[in-house]
């Protein structure tokens, strides 16, 4: 495993980081809790020291499972990354920005973005309890909130660092303009954004800006929620309530299939899976600090960690990029 310094902090994070969205179950067709805990243990045992979660993932369940999995573990050997700013339980009392309505199990739940100082303090206290810890290594604003002044959000995060409840603070899903505005009050350690072989938009403006300003980039959905693993093209069926049934529709699936077939020989030469090849390619892209990879069982967790066990030559990277240009 490789470890990388995050932005202007002293945090050393594992390049492959455990992404805990799926283990929350919400939007992912449920959850097997024992498998989830096993996947966390397997990740740590294979060098993945960094775990990224959020209260929204399973409405607290993802954080609770991490807290359970870490009982008896050396807390100083693990970095916990979580978020704030998505409210679902009505405690926002009409405040915040409506994001979307989550329709699941025959129930519709309105989700709001809320990054006020009062809500941040409330959410962090709840996360500390669920994670069974007295500090969070990196707290992140989950999504920008148009109803709260950016300086209020940044000042609240800075105060949490001074209190010792948080080691570092960051943002997620922020544009360059929003990063510039936030940095007038407090320079975020990183920006967590979507990025993959099929979604490279951040390379145009965001990557150059973050490199110039020593801000890390944490990328999520590098596998496009499993599409780039190739399993979708091998008759793997999704549950009816799995959000990916609609999500995959945005891509030209035939071109994606051809691309994966064309790069498969490189994976075979490395004795690696397509998923491992995709993760390794992502980790080697300019400006990327760490890559989130989800796992719902121990085998997937081990596979993710082992994606760092090989390298890619400049010729191999050029070939992959040339094939990508055809999609």
Angle at 133 between CA 111 and CA 63, to 5 degrees: 30
Average pLDDT, the chain: 93
pLDDT tens, residue by residue, 178-209: 999 999 999 999 999 999 999 999 999 999 99
pLDDT band of residue 217 (cuts 50, 70, 90) is very high
Listed range (40-44, 134-138, 156-160, 249-253) with the worst mean pLDDT: 249-253
pTM as predicted: 0.93
Q: Is residue 265 part of a domain?
A: no
141 HSE (CA, 13 A, CB side):
35
Q: What is the CATH number of the domain that holds 16?
A: 3.20.20.100
Counting every residue written for the chain, the total comes to 327
pLDDT tens, residue by residue, 128-139: 999 999 999 999
Q: With beta carbons less than 8 A apart as the criterion, state whether 216 and 290 touch.
A: yes
Q: Is residue 270 part of a domain?
A: no
In this structure, is the dihedral angle defined by the CA atoms of residues 235, 239, 240 and 243, taken in order, positive or negative? negative
* pLDDT at residue 253, as a whole number: 85
Q: How far apart are CA 111 and CA 89, in angstroms?
A: 8
Six-digit token pair at 11? 């945090």
Contact residues for 76 (Cβ-Cβ < 8 A; gap 6+): none
Q: With beta carbons less than 8 A apart as the criterion, state whether 56 and 111 touch.
A: yes
Q: How far apart are CA 222 and CA 278, in angstroms?
A: 8
- CA distances from residue 102 to 36, 88, 97, 106 in whole angstroms, order as listed: 23, 9, 15, 10
Q: Which domain holds residue 126?
A: 3-247+281-308
Q: How far apart are CA 49 and CA 60, in angstroms?
A: 21
Q: How far apart are CA 228 and CA 112, in angstroms?
A: 30
Question: Annotated active-site positions, please?
Answer: 57
Q: Is residue 319 part of a domain?
A: no
Q: Is residue 324 part of a domain?
A: no
**Can you name the residues that pair with 250 across neighbouring β-strands?**
none
Rg (CA), the chain: 19
Q: Is residue 325 part of a domain?
A: no
Between residues 112 and 244, the one the model is more confident about: 112
* Mean pLDDT in residue range 224-236: 83
* pLDDT at residue 239, as a whole number: 73
pLDDT tens, residue by residue, 21-58: 988 766 555 567 899 999 999 999 999 999 999 999 99
What's the gap between Cα 86 and its chain centre?
Answer: 15
274 HSE (CA, 13 A, CB side):
22
Q: Is residue 190 part of a domain?
A: yes
* pLDDT at residue 243, as a whole number: 72
Burial class, 88, CB count within 10 angstroms (exposed 0-12 / middle 13-18 / buried 19+): middle
Q: Is residue 321 part of a domain?
A: no
pLDDT tens, residue by residue, 54-78: 999 999 999 999 999 999 999 999 9
Q: Is residue 258 part of a domain?
A: no
* pLDDT at residue 273, as a whole number: 97
Q: How far apart are CA 324 and CA 319, in angstroms?
A: 9
Cα–Cα nearest to 104, from 223, 24, 36: 24
Between residues 29 and 248, the one the model is more confident about: 248
| DSSP conformation class of 317 | H
Q: With beta carbons less than 8 A apart as the criterion, state whether 43 and 301 touch.
A: yes
DSSP-derived 3-state class of residue 65: helix
Number of domains in the chain: 1
């Amino acid at each position: 495993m490789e470890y990388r310094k995050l932005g202007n902090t002293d945090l050393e994070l594992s390049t492959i980081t455990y992404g805990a969205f799926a283990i929350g179950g919400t939007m992912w067709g449920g959850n097997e809790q024992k498998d989830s805990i096993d996947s966390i243990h397997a990740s740590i045992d294979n060098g993945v020291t960094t775990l990224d979660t959020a209260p929204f993932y399973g409405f607290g369940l993802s954080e609770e499972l991490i807290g359970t999995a870490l009982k008896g573990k050396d807390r100083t050997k693990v970095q916990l990354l979580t978020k704030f700013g998505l409210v679902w339980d009505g405690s926002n009392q009409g405040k915040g920005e409506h994001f979307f309505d989550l329709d699941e199990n025959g129930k519709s739940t309105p989700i709001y973005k809320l990054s006020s100082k009062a809500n941040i303090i409330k959410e962090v206290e709840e996360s500390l309890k669920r994670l069974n810890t007295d500090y969070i290594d990196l707290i992140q604003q989950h999504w920008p909130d148009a109803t709260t002044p950016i300086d209020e959000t940044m000042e609240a995060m800075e105060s949490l660092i001074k209190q010792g409840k948080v080691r570092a603070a960051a943002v997620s899903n922020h544009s360059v303009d929003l990063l510039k505005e936030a940095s007038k009050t407090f320079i975020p350690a990183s920006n967590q954004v979507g990025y993959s072989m099929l979604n490279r938009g951040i390379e145009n403006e965001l990557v150059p800006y973050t490199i110039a300003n020593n801000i890390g980039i944490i990328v999520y959905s590098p596998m496009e929620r499993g599409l780039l693993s190739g399993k979708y093209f091998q008759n793997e069926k999704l549950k009816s309530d799995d959000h990916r049934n609609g999500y995959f529709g945005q891509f030209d699936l035939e071109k994606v299939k051809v691309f994966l077939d064309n790069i498969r020989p490189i994976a075979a030469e490395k004795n690696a899976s397509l998923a491992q090849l995709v993760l390794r390619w992502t980790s080697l892209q300019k400006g990327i600090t760490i890559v989130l990879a989800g796992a719902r069982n121990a085998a997937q967790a081990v596979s993710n960690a082992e994606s760092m066990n090989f390298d890619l030559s400049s010729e191999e990277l050029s070939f992959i990029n040339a094939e990508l240009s055809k999609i």
